[in-house]
Structure 1
């Protein structure tokens, strides 16, 4: 199979940007070529031109395209300092302010679920059972969402979960499932997984959120798309709610003006009007 042409790469790149806001620069051409080649062979197609025609005639293939070209890297308690800040600063503030004993958080770009389940564990540990705690977990990639909903992880994936939490919230596999850990139902019920496109105008959110984790996602968007998403996040956060970004991400000074206050390493608080 010939390598992807400049014309087809630009077509795929434009399509991805229009649909989900992800920017694929020229340096990603080799990655697109490699991943799409596998998809083309699986479909029994001849080349990239055939694939573009197939895309045109089969809109459902867009889901597979997003799954193929989006990158998913995560683990439990990733960037632990953020979870420390959540437990030491955010959750005590929520507890002091909440009369209704309801806590809502969002793991945006949740990948295979490790971040969402980490958040659910921490909320479960911090609040007693009289509190209504829920985590919304969303991603564009249906394959990783399916894995997240199953909640089954290999031993190497749970190595950063403290032992006492591992035994409390995970069921150890036996027999043919030896070496696997399954999230217990009491934790699963705290997390709702949904497919969602951050580039869409409306998000599937009804309640105001206490915090949003959207880490290592903005690196795939250009400034214009980032700012649109930030405005939507701002709308869905309660006054003085918190936004957690990835270690290499930030809100620029102009965009922060009157809206966000930097309170910790890549943690921003929504300003009261």
Structure 2
């Protein structure tokens, strides 16, 4: 039996380079307490690149700025903790918001869609409220991680991942797998048709978003950025939101010290300041 040689631990200097690389590529800020996590997540990348140490791996990245390994590097270091109807109060708020608008042409941007549970939760909420008219709604679901986007597009999940859904939602929006897919369920096509999944890096200068949104979901994302990046994001979100639209953020995030553009409307839900409207 052959054993892979043990990879030497990350030195502080190498970890510092990893931090600089990921910050430049994605805006993500890593602190020293993430060093072991980084080591473990990048081990597979070293093996796939057939290199035996971090110094050589980092030289590969530096040497070839357009190397496809850069995307794999970013994928490895992004965090994708998500679930259907996570922070359920937001979906109650979204239901009330959509019901009050009496308009089925709803546009929503999910700015960090991960493996798809969040945008599908948004789509189910719209469908529950709008019925057949939900087909007129549009959700853009974006992420920087290409691997999670691929999973999101397939819409296949383990049955136990649907525990936050009602029995009616499971029946209405999912098909149970059989044979090799027993124990799994797939999102029905009608729901998947409401969502456009796309790669998007929030640090890019041009997001290529052509219209304003009724709601923007950017939940549990800004906690990974430094204050300057958070402020910049909010500056860019404001003109993309319709005057009476809503911005949903994560449970541990707070805009009060970051932006004058938004006023709180509910638990981690914001709208534009009245003076900013129009």
Is TM > 0.5 for Structure 1 vs Structure 2?
A: yes
- Quote how far apart the aligned CAs of 1:130 are: 4.0
Contact 2:156–2:186 (8 Å) recurs in 1: yes
Q: Kindly indicate whether residue 272 of structure 2 is the aligned counterpart of residue 270 of structure 1.
A: yes
Aligned to 1:14: 20
Farther-moved stretch of structure 1 (184-193 vs 14-23): 14-23
* Equivalent-residue separation in structure 2 for 1:216 and 1:92 (angstroms): 26
1:192-203 matches, cutoff 5 A: 192-203=196-207
* Pairwise CA distance, 1:153: 0.3
* Residue 188 of structure 2, aligned match among 184, 188, 205: 184
Q: Is the 8 A contact 1:240 1:271 kept in 2?
A: no
Aligned equivalent of 1:91, options 79, 84, 98: 98
Structure 1, gaps ≥5 residues long: none
Is 2:66 the counterpart of 1:64? Answer: no
Equivalent position to 2:58, from 39, 47, 52: 52
Output the CA distance in 1 between the equivalents of 2:223 and 2:26.
13
CA distance in 1, matches of 2:173, 2:204: 34
Per the alignment, residue 117 of structure 1 pairs with 120
Match of 1:216 in 2: 220
For 1:74, the equivalent position in structure 2 comes to: 82
| 155-164 or 143-152, which deviates more | 155-164
**Aligned ranges 1:169-180 → 2 under 5 Å:** 169-180=173-184
How many angstroms does 1:35 deviate by?
Answer: 1.2
State the shift of 1:43 in Å.
2.0
The answer for unaligned runs of 5 or more in structure 2 is 1-6
Query: TM-score when scaled to structure 1?
Result: 0.93
- RMSD of the alignment, in Å? 1.3
Tell me the matched-pair count.
Answer: 266
Hey, what does 1:37 align to over in structure 2?
Answer: 43
